[in-house]
Structure 1
């Protein structure tokens, strides 16, 4: 199997961690770089979480530190959702692994030039680093094979404000820059190269339950199993406190899975823009389904997914990975 080079931009985060583990567990993925984004927790904590996960999983991937703040707005974080260190109740191991000597925006550019036309980008946090990378290399959209974004809410309620999804609401200016950058670079050409955007309208169908988590972790003896269980327990409790039930939405692992196999979701092309000035609607993602703006599509919006197909793949891959790690440590 030929592995696809993948560059991941994360604000790790419980579900970001699950997405990273999924990619590490996938033989068809070669994770060539990780950009740390401020979002769920401050960027210094994100860097630690990423490096510690690599230590835990026995994987070597360059990790780069991103901007400490959004491009314009002050940073807001989500420890109430992900725990004080971003990993729920889990405690990650100490590590002496070091960050790259270049920042996350530069990491995006370097990876794209190292794998022109081959690299798949996955962004599961605010789009700050990607926007800054586009400022340095406006041709970035034409260098990537594919970009998958977890963000937005399309004809659907928000999870941060009544209309805005978390990742976009943290840095709406960056999200607007990214959508504009893809519009400018492709100018109506090659719709297959438009970013795949997975909003809450899709990702909230990916519901992890304690029963599914039990199937995932089984009787594995590796410390990664305990980390996943402790992280997800906090995530379950958060969703329960919000009145959604003792469950959790795996937004970011779906993005990781779609990066490797876009056929897991059905998409519709359209033009997307981000509200930046509305008093009540800042951070809202608007899809122009009826082409009222008369602009070329700049995104492929996920509109349908088979959760059972996703979980079959996710549980199989991550379950086999934790068992492999358990065997390696004995």
Structure 2
């Protein structure tokens, strides 16, 4: 066998590990949800960076009851809507959850490119035009990137950063604090896609909003788990399931149903069968990976292309494999298990 044949055969073996399914993915591992996600000790210190629109709001609702996490801080960034709105929404939703966690205002603009937003999905106010009561909670004085660094210093080698919006705050933190990568344990993001995009044919929204910041993240040396469209589009609720969620009986569940209505209509207009809960899927992945499928990969972001700007470029499906395959690309989720976990957490607001 020639070297070339051996090379291709070896890569085909890797590709065969990524199945093409005719039926939905089902997790094979025993369900660890109760033992993992509600464990008392040791708690995982977590920083949550968000651009609170409708699915970020649901993610915040879930975080309240994931007792495996010690939520150190929340930072806001412009993305789904303007920074003023994402910050206000974050304070409002945290008040609804009853979680008293510090909130830090982040970047109002991407590092380089012009701002883009998604009011067609999230409504004018970012919460599907649902109005929550004015929060009593106040913002912290410190900015997001300084606060993130201080949290990493306080938890060296332990802090998990979960980012479900544009990566601008992280890019600013990495640029200012060169030792930040050595302080972080891992980064989990909602963003990107190994195949395709949503905002453009090649780019997913969170990455496209600030491709330069996202590329800094993938190139900083910290292991990144990319919960992209490959997986999150499969983490959806049908209209009937969303109604079922809203009927759980708590104000939080009613809010979840109501704030998702605009996004649901938009999703149905595109031909989807329900509403994908992108950010909640990333949260549940960070808590317990057992219902998700994932593969190691090299990932960078295209920052120069005229028609591929913002694309997450990965060697996951390519013949050529890069030597630095230190990230994980999450490709699938057991939807029924995802839905069960979502409902489990939301039922906890009933007392």
Instruction: Give the TM-score, by structure 1 length.
Output: 0.89
> Do residues 116 (structure 1) and 156 (structure 2) align?
yes
> Do residues 310 (structure 1) and 315 (structure 2) align?
no
Contact map agreement 1:150 1:251 (CA 8 A) in 2: yes
- Tell me how far apart the structure 2 counterparts of residues 107 and 20 of structure 1 sit (CA, whole Å): 19
Partner of 1:179: 218
Counting only pairs closer than 5 Å after superposition, residues 133-148 of structure 1 correspond to structure 2 as 133-148=173-188
Query: Secondary structure at 1:145's aligned position in 2?
Result: strand
Partner of 1:230: 258
Q: How far did residue 315 of structure 1 move?
A: 0.8
Partner of 1:254: 281
Specify every segment of 5 or more residues in structure 2 that has no aligned partner in the other structure, as ranges. Answer: 1-39
Q: How far did residue 219 of structure 1 move?
A: 4.5
> Do residues 24 (structure 1) and 64 (structure 2) align?
yes
Counting only pairs closer than 5 Å after superposition, residues 193-204 of structure 1 correspond to structure 2 as 194-204=223-233
- Tell me how far apart the structure 1 counterparts of residues 53 and 240 of structure 2 sit (CA, whole Å): 22
- Tell me how far apart the structure 1 counterparts of residues 80 and 269 of structure 2 sit (CA, whole Å): 18
Partner of 1:320: 348
Partner of 2:165: 125
- Tell me how far apart the structure 1 counterparts of residues 245 and 44 of structure 2 sit (CA, whole Å): 24
Query: Secondary structure at 2:72's aligned position in 1?
Result: strand
> Do residues 103 (structure 1) and 143 (structure 2) align?
yes
- Tell me how far apart the structure 1 counterparts of residues 64 and 281 of structure 2 sit (CA, whole Å): 14
**Corresponding pairs, count:** 310
Larger Rg: 2
- Tell me how far apart the structure 2 counterparts of residues 14 and 248 of structure 1 sit (CA, whole Å): 11
> Do residues 241 (structure 1) and 241 (structure 2) align?
no
Q: How far did residue 320 of structure 1 move?
A: 1.6
- Tell me how far apart the structure 1 counterparts of residues 322 and 160 of structure 2 sit (CA, whole Å): 29
Q: How far did residue 141 of structure 1 move?
A: 2.6
Query: Secondary structure at 2:339's aligned position in 1?
Result: helix
Partner of 1:163: 202
Partner of 1:214: 243
Query: Secondary structure at 1:125's aligned position in 2?
Result: coil
Specify every segment of 5 or more residues in structure 1 that has no aligned partner in the other structure, as ranges. Answer: 187-193, 325-330
- Tell me how far apart the structure 2 counterparts of residues 10 and 297 of structure 1 sit (CA, whole Å): 26
Query: Secondary structure at 2:268's aligned position in 1?
Result: helix
Q: How far did residue 137 of structure 1 move?
A: 2.1
Partner of 2:45: 5
Contact map agreement 1:146 1:259 (CA 8 A) in 2: no
The 3 A distance-change label for structure 1 pair 62 and 115 is: same
